[in-house]
Amino acid sequence: MTWSEIFGVFTKPLFQLGQTWISLATMVEFVVVTAIVVVASRLIRHVLRNASWRTPSSTSASSTLSRRIVSYIVLVFGLLIGVETMGVNLSSLAVIDLNRSLRQMIGR
């Protein structure tokens, strides 16, 4: 098997998701990005836990809640980045959500 054949196996489209063809290479890329995001989220939670021990003014519940919220925000944004790396366009989703949020804010 030559390198071009091996490369062809990884880049051959397996299925279509909307307008985007998904191959083995894009799935591996998504898994790698997701793994990096999970590790980064846990690292941020760990750093914030160590930083909360140095500030005696914050309560245990509030520091735990803030750590969780920040780590979940990092996780959600990272997963969105991972989906974007696969080639799925999420810009229309963001515009729709922003439009809905603005309508709720002004009361329409």
Spatial distance between the Cα atoms of 43 and 86, rounded to a whole number of angstroms: 25
Q: What is the mean pLDDT of the chain?
A: 79
What's the half-sphere exposure (Cβ side, CA atoms, 13 Å) at 87? Answer: 16
Four-CA torsion 44, 46, 52, 54, nearest 10 degrees:
-110
Distances (CA, A) of 7 to 23, 26, 71: 11, 13, 36
Radius of gyration of the chain measured on its C-alpha atoms: 20
Question: 57 is in which domain, residue-wise?
Answer: 3-106
Angle at 57 between CA 53 and CA 62, to 5 degrees: 75
pLDDT per residue of the chain (108 residues) written in tens, 0 to 9: 787 887 788 888 888 877 788 888 888 988 999 999 999 999 988 888 887 666 666 677 777 888 888 888 888 888 888 888 877 777 766 555 656 666 666 665
Tell me the C-alpha distance between 91 and 65, whole Å. 30
How many domains would you assign to the chain? Answer: 1
Contacts of 67 (CB under 8 A, 6+ apart): 45, 48, 49, 52
